[in-house]
Chain A
Amino acid sequence: MSPAETDNFRDMSTAAAVDYLVDYEGRPDDVDSRIGRSDHAQVTTRDVFTPDIDIDDARQRWLFRMIHTRRPLQEKMALFWHNHFATAFSKLSADSGNTQAAKMFAQKAGVLRGPQGQLELFRQYALGNFRDLLLDVAQDPAMVVWLDGKSNTRAKPQENFGREIMELFTVGVGYYTEPDVYAAARVFSGWNLRRSEGFRADDPNSYQEFIYNADQHDTSVKTFSFPIYSNGDKTIPARSESGGMQDGVDLITALAMHPETARRLSRKLWNFFVSEIIPPDAGFVDSTAAVYLQNRSEMRPVVRHVLTSSWFTDPSAQFARYSWPAEFVTRAIKEVGWQGFSLDKAKSPLSNMGMLLFEPPNVGGWPTGSNWFSTATMLARSNFAATLAASQKDFLATALTPDGTTPQGLIGAMLDRVTPAPLDTAPQDALVSYLLAGGTWTGSSSQISTRAAGLARLLIGSAEYQFV
C-alpha cells in the first residue's frame, strides 16, 4: 500500500474495507486517463504510447493500473484470471504477428475495430460470473489461437482446448477421463476464428473474431463420464449443424457448475488470498464452494465470503503467502516511491523473477508459492529493489530526513513505509550495522541519501519482504 492508501484504510472497519474492495463499481475506472501525469509512475513511450497494440506498452499500462487503480481488487482478480487461463504472447505472436497478438491481449473495447482483448475480458469479469467468463474465454480469439481451436474441425477434432478446459480451467485431473477429452474436442469442433475483411497482420484495425463454423461441427451425440444436465443425463444429444453450438454451451455450463470446479476454485482462492503456508482448510473449501454453487458461479459473493471469513482475518494468515513477482513489484513501487520511475524498467526484472506478464510458461500458469524462489529469482527481486531504491534516492532522502537524526529513527521511518514480515533481532542488528558501517552517524544529507537508499534496497530485497 502507498502511504496515502494506508491513511485511507487506517480508520476503516474490516467490514467497511472489504466492501470498499469488493464493491468497486461505485468508483470510476479512470486509471488509464492518469497515465502521463508527473505525480504518478511513468511509462516509457517509443514514439507514441500504444498499449492496445504493443505488448510492452500493454505491460506498462497493466503495472500502472496495479499501482494507481481506485479498484485494487479488480486488477488483482484480473491477475488471478490471467494465471488461471494462462495464455502466452509468444505463441500468438508467432501465429498472428506482434500487433495482432498484443491487440488480442490488451485492446480496450472500442479503441480499434474488433473484439476487446483477453485482459479486458478478465477485468470485465474480475468478480463476475465464472460460467459466463468461461463461455467468453472459449470464444476469446487469444484463447482460440492459444489452444488451437481455430483449426478444430469435424473431420479432425483438436483436443487441446477440450483437455485443458477440464484439466486446468474447471474440474482438474481425476474428475474426467480420456474419452471425455475426445468428446470435448468434438463438442468444440467448429469453434473457430475468422479474419476481418482485407486482414493485414500489421494493420491495427484488422482483427480476428470468433465464429461458429456450423459445417465444421461434429453433430453426433457426445457422452461424458459426468452429468451434463441437471437431470443427471451425461449425453449431449445429436443436433443440427446450425444448432450445434449449444453443445459447447451445455458442456461449459456443466463444467462451471460441477462441484469439483467449485472446490478447485475455492482452493485456488485460498492460496491467492489466505495462505500458501497452511494447506486449504476443509471448512473453508466446503463453505466457499457452497457459496459459489448457491450463487450460480457468481464470483463477487464468493470473494466477499473469502475476505470476510475467519480464515482470512486470522493472524496466522498474515505474511502467509509468497508474493507473486507482479505483486512484489507493485507493492515495492507503492511503498518506496515512484517519482520519475518508468514502469518499463520493471520488465526485465519481472522476467528474471519468472513472471513476465502475458508470458506464462505454459497453459498451467505460473508455478506459485515456494516455486517462485530460486537463487536466480531471489537475486532478481533484490536487484529490482536496488534499481528502485537508486531511482528514489532523492525522494527518500527528503521524506526521511526528519527522522534521520539517529539510525533507529531512520529504520523506524522506513518501516512506516515498507512492510516486511516482522524482523528478528539479527536482521534488525544487520540494518543498524549497515547504517553505521560508513562511520559515526551524523544524519548529514549525504549520509541519509546514501544509506536510506541502501536501507530500502535491503528491506525490499529481504526474505521477510517476499511474504504478504
Chain B
Amino acid sequence: MRLSRRLFIRDGVATVTLGLAAPSFLSEIAHAQGLSSSKRLVVVYLGGGNDALNTLIPYQDASYYSRRPTIAIPAGQVLQVGADVSGRALGLHPRLAGLSNIFKDGRLALIQRTGYANSSRSHFEAGDIWGTANPQSSIGSGWLGRYLDTLPRPLDALAAWNTTGETPRALLSALSGVPAIPNVATYTFASPNRGAAAADEKVAARAMAANPAAGRPHLAFVNSTSLGAIETLDRAAQAIAYTPSVVYPNDGFGLALRTVAGAIVRGVGSRIYWLQTGGFDTHAQQGAGGGNYGALMGTLGDGLGAFYTDLRNQAQINDTTVILYSEFGRRISENGSNGTDHGAAGLMMALGGSVRGGLYGTAASLAPGNPTLENSSGDVHYETDFRSVYARVLDQWLGVNSVPILNGDFRAGAPAIF
C-alpha cells in the first residue's frame, strides 16, 4: 500500500499531514500496531489558566483566607483529601465530588506546584510552552506530536483523535497528522444530491483530494486534510453508535468525554485523545464555591466522574489514563473584580485505573515572604517541572523513551504516579 507524505511548513516545522491509507487497511494497521488493545492517554487541557488554589485548597492556611476575602472556599465546604508530605491539609473544590470519589478509589493523583522557571503570564505563549515542552520556545512541534512520530509506519490515521476543531500545539509534529473530530454527528460527507450522484461526488472529492499537488505544499496540505477526513469518516462514526453505561452531563465537555468513551469501547484504537474545556480565565466574579468558578469545577468534576465510572463499568479503565493541565495558575491575592489575574505554578492531575493516586509535591505557604512564592510573593513558585510529569507518562505509561521526545532527561524527580 502507498502512503503519501506531504511536507508542510508551520512555524518552521515540517508537518506531514495524514497518511493516505486505504480504509480497508486501517484496522489492520491498528491491530498490527497493537493499538486497539493498548494503553491510551486522554489529555484534558483547561484553557485560560486554572486557579489551582481554588481547585486544591489549602484550607488551613490563614493567608489563603486573608488574601482571598471574597473568593476563598470556606474550610467547611472543601472535600478533604488529607495532608501532603509537608503536613499541609488540602481539600478539593466542593463541586469536584466526581474527582473526590476517584481520589477515594486511590486513582486520582494531584501533583501540586507544577510549572517551570520564569513562568510566562501570556495565555498564548504559556499554552504553547506546555505544548512544545520547551520553556525557551513557544514555536515548533509538540510533545504528543513527537510521541506519535515514534510509532511504527504507516501510521494509523486515527492513532490520535483531537476532539477540538483546531490542532493544538501539543499535537503538532513532523511526521504525523491528527484528525480533528469535535462532533461525530457532523463528521459526515454531505451532498446536494441523493443516491448515485451523491456517491459519485464522494468518489470525485476523494480523487481531487488525492492530487499530490507537486510544488504546491500548502495546497497539498489542505488536500491531505480533506483526504484524511474522507478516510476517517466511517471509523469515527462507530463512536456515536455507543450506548454508555452512565449518563454524561449534557455540556460540551461531557459530550466530548462520551465520544471518547465510545471510541475506546468500540475499539477505534486511538492512542491519544485530546480534549479541551475553557473558561478558566477567571478575572472576575469567581465565586466562593459557587459562581463562575464553581460552574467550571462542576463541569469538570461531573464529566470526569461519569467518564471514569463508565470506563470502569466497561472494563476499560485500567488501560486508560487521563491527565489534566492548564497554561498557568493564578495570582494568590484576589483582584478588585472578585477574581484572579494570571499567575505561575499550577496543578496537574492524573486519573485512571492504573494511576497511583494521592497527593504529590508540597503546597505553597501563602504567607508573604515565604520561599515557596515568587513575583514579590504574588504567585506560587513551581516545585515540580511539568516535563517530569510528561516524562513519567511517556516512559511508564506509553512505553517510549521520554528523553528524545522531551529533548532532555526529566525522569529524575518525576512524581511516581504509575
Residues 4-27 of chain A, each 1 if its beta carbon lies under 8 Å from chain B, else 0: 000000000000000000000000
How many angstroms from the CA of A467 to the CA of B162 in the assembled complex? 24
Give the distance in Å from the alpha carbon of A354 to the alpha carbon of B164 in the complex: 10
Shortest CB-to-CB span from B14 to chain A, Å, is 13
B182 sits at the interface (CB 8 A): yes
B188 and A383 form a contact (CB under 8 A): yes
Q: Which of A153-203 contact B (CB under 8 A)?
A: 153, 155-160, 163, 167, 173, 178, 181
Q: Give the distance in Å from the alpha carbon of A386 to the alpha carbon of B202 in the complex.
A: 11
Among the listed B123, B189, B200, B213, which residue makes an inter-chain contact with A379, where contact means beta carbons less than 8 Å apart? B189
Q: Return the contact of B341 from the options A158, A390, A437, A451 (Cβ within 8 A).
A: A158
Do the beta carbons of B228 and A375 come within 8 Å of each other?
yes
How many Å lie between the Cα of A458 and that of B223 in the bound state?
A: 13
Q: Chain B, 193-213, contact with A by CB distance < 8 Å: what is the 0/1 string?
A: 100110011011101111101
Q: Kindly specify which of B214-222, B315-323, B396-404 makes contact with the partner chain.
A: B214-222
Kindly state the separation between the CA atoms of A456 and B375 in the bound complex, as whole angstroms: 58
- Contact partners of B196 in chain A: CB under 8 A: 437-438
Is the pair B222, A373 in contact by a Cβ cutoff of 8 Å? yes
* A59 at interface, CB cutoff 8 A: no
Within 8 Å CB of B229, what residues of A?
375-376, 378-379
How long is the Cα–Cα vector from A421 to B337 in the complex, in angstroms? 50
A466 within 8 A of B: yes
B226/A463 in contact, CB under 8 A? yes
Q: How far is the CA of A354 from the CA of B182 in the complex (A)?
A: 11
For B124, the chain A residues whose CB sits under 8 A away are 364
- Does the CB pair B189–A382 fall under 8 Å? yes
User: Which of chain A's residues have a CB closer than 8 A to the CB of B205?
Assistant: 382, 458, 461-462
B179–A374 CB distance below 8 A: yes
A-side contacts of B188, CB under 8 Å? 379, 383
A364-B123 contact in complex given A374-B167, A376-B187, A463-B222, C-beta closer than 8 Å: yes
B23 within 8 Å of A by Cβ?
Answer: no
CA distance A457 to B189 in the complex (A): 11
Mark each residue of chain B from 6 to 43: 1 if its CB lies under 8 Å from any CB of chain A, else 0: 00101000000010000000000000000000000000
- Establish whether residues A151 and B338, one from each chain, have CB atoms under 8 Å apart when the complex forms: yes
CB contacts (< 8 Å) of A377 on chain B: these are 165-166, 180
Asked if residues B166 and A374 are in contact (CB atoms below 8 Å), the reply is yes
B54 within 8 A of A: no
Bound CA span A451–B198, Å: 10
Q: Say if the beta carbon of B87 comes within 8 Å of chain A.
A: no
Whether A237 is near chain B, meaning CB under 8 Å from some CB there, is no
Interface residue? A424 (CB, 8 A): yes
Residues of B within 8 A of A395 (CB): none
Instruction: Verify B181–A376 contact, CB threshold 8 A.
Output: yes
Cα distance, A433 to B125, chains bound together (Å): 48
Known: A426-B211, A437-B200, A438-B196. A466 touches B222 (CB 8 A): yes
Chain A min CB distance to B363 (Å): 24
Q: A151-B336, A158-B335, A376-B229 are in contact. Are A421 and B191 (CB under 8 A)?
A: no
- Asked if B134 is an interface residue, CB under 8 A from chain A, the answer is no
Contact B232 A375 (CB under 8 A): yes
Check A374/B180 contact, CB under 8 A, given A152-B337, A173-B122.
Answer: yes
CB of A375 within 8 A of CB of B179, answer: yes
Q: Would you call the interface of chain A mostly helix, strand, loop, or mixed? A: helix
Assuming the contacts A380-B186, A421-B219, A434-B201, asked whether A427 and B207 have C-beta atoms less than 8 A apart, the reply is: yes
Instruction: Determine whether the beta carbon of B47 is less than 8 Å from that of A458.
Output: no
Chain A proximity of B276: nearest CB distance (Å): 10
Quick one: which of A361, A367, A376, A427 has the most chain B CB within 10 A?
A: A376
Decide if B336 touches A153 in the complex (CB within 8 Å). yes
Closest Cβ–Cβ distance, residue B214 to chain A (whole Å): 8
A357 to chain B, nearest CB (A): 15
Docked CA distance A456–B190 (Å): 13
Interface residues of A in 362-397 (CB under 8 A from B): 362-364, 367, 369-380, 382-383, 386-387, 389-390, 393
Q: Which residue of A lies closest to B284 (CB)?
A: A148
Q: Which of B48, B122, B219, B341 contacts A167 (CB 8 A)?
A: B122
| B183 sits at the interface (CB 8 A) | yes
Q: How far is the CB of A91 from chain B (nearest CB, A)?
A: 9
**CB–CB B179/A370 < 8 A:** no
Question: How many Å from the CB of B186 to the closest CB on chain A?
Answer: 6
Given contacts A426-B207, A430-B208, contact A370 B190 (CB under 8 A): no
CA A443 to CA B13, docked complex, whole Å: 49
**CB under 8 Å from chain B, chain A span 255-270:** none
* Chain A residues touching B, range: 35 or more
The verdict on B342 contacting chain A, using a C-beta distance below 8 Å, is yes
Q: Which residues of B contact A369 (CB under 8 A)?
A: 10
Confirm or deny: B411 has a beta carbon within 8 angstroms of a beta carbon on chain A: no
Asked if A352 is at the interface of the complex by the 8 Å CB criterion, the answer is yes
> Are B47 and A148 neighbours in the complex by a CB distance under 8 Å?
no
- The answer to whether residues A371 and B192 also contact, given A352-B183, A433-B207, A457-B201 and a CB cut-off of 8 A, is no
Choice from A181, A354, A424, A463 contacting B166 with Cβ under 8 Å: A354
**B339 at the A/B interface (Cβ < 8 Å)?**
yes
Find the A residue at minimum CB distance from B191. Answer: A386
B225 interfacial contact with A, CB 8 Å: yes
Contact between B341 and A458, CB atoms less than 8 A apart? no
For the complex formed, measure the closest distance between the CB of B258 and the CB atoms of chain A, giving whole angstroms. 17
B165 touching A148 by the CB < 8 A rule?
Answer: no
Please judge, given known A-B contacts A151-B337, A377-B166, A378-B225, whether A457 and B219 are in contact too, CB under 8 Å.
no
Cβ B47 vs Cβ A374 within 8 A = no
Q: Which residues of B contact A163 (CB under 8 A)?
A: 121-122, 342
With an 8 A cutoff between CB atoms, is B283 at the interface? yes
Q: Shortest CB–CB separation between residue B141 and chain A, in angstroms?
A: 14
Given A173-B125, A376-B165, A430-B208, CB of A156 within 8 Å of CB of B225? no
Q: Are B335 and A371 in contact (CB under 8 A)?
A: no
Q: Is B310 an interface residue (CB 8 A)?
A: no
- On chain B, the residues within 8 Å of A433 by CB distance are 203-204, 207
CB closest residue in chain B, given A181: B121
CA distance A185 to B181 in the complex (A): 40
Contact B165 A424 (CB under 8 A): no
Residues of B within 8 A of A354 (CB): 165-166
Say whether A157 contacts B336, CB under 8 Å.
yes
Contact B191 A457 (CB under 8 A): yes
Whether, in the assembled complex, A290 has its beta carbon less than 8 Å from a beta carbon of chain B, the answer is: no
Asked whether, in the complex, the Cβ of B335 is within 8 Å of the Cβ of A156, the reply is yes
A461 smallest CB distance to B (angstroms):
7
- B334 at interface (Cβ–Cβ under 8 A)? yes
List 25 A–B pairs whose Cβ atoms lie within 8 Å, in order of A's numbering: A151-B335, A152-B337, A153-B336, A158-B284, A158-B335, A159-B283, A159-B341, A163-B342, A363-B123, A369-B10, A370-B218, A373-B222, A374-B179, A375-B181, A376-B181, A376-B229, A379-B187, A383-B189, A430-B204, A430-B207, A430-B208, A450-B197, A454-B191, A461-B205, A463-B222
Point out residues on A near B: beta carbons under 8 Å. 94, 147-148, 150-153, 155-160, 163, 167, 173, 178, 181, 277, 322, 352, 354, 361-364, 367, 369-380, 382-383, 386-387, 389-390, 393, 421, 424, 426-427, 429-431, 433-434, 437-438, 450-451, 453-454, 456-458, 461-464, 466-467
Given A167-B122, A352-B186, A458-B201, 13 other A-B residues pairs in contact with their CB atoms under 8 A:
A158-B283, A160-B283, A181-B121, A370-B8, A370-B10, A373-B221, A375-B181, A434-B201, A450-B193, A451-B197, A454-B204, A462-B208, A463-B226
10 shortest interchain CB distances as A-B pairs: A156-B336, A374-B180, A151-B337, A390-B192, A463-B222, A375-B229, A430-B207, A434-B204, A386-B190, A383-B190
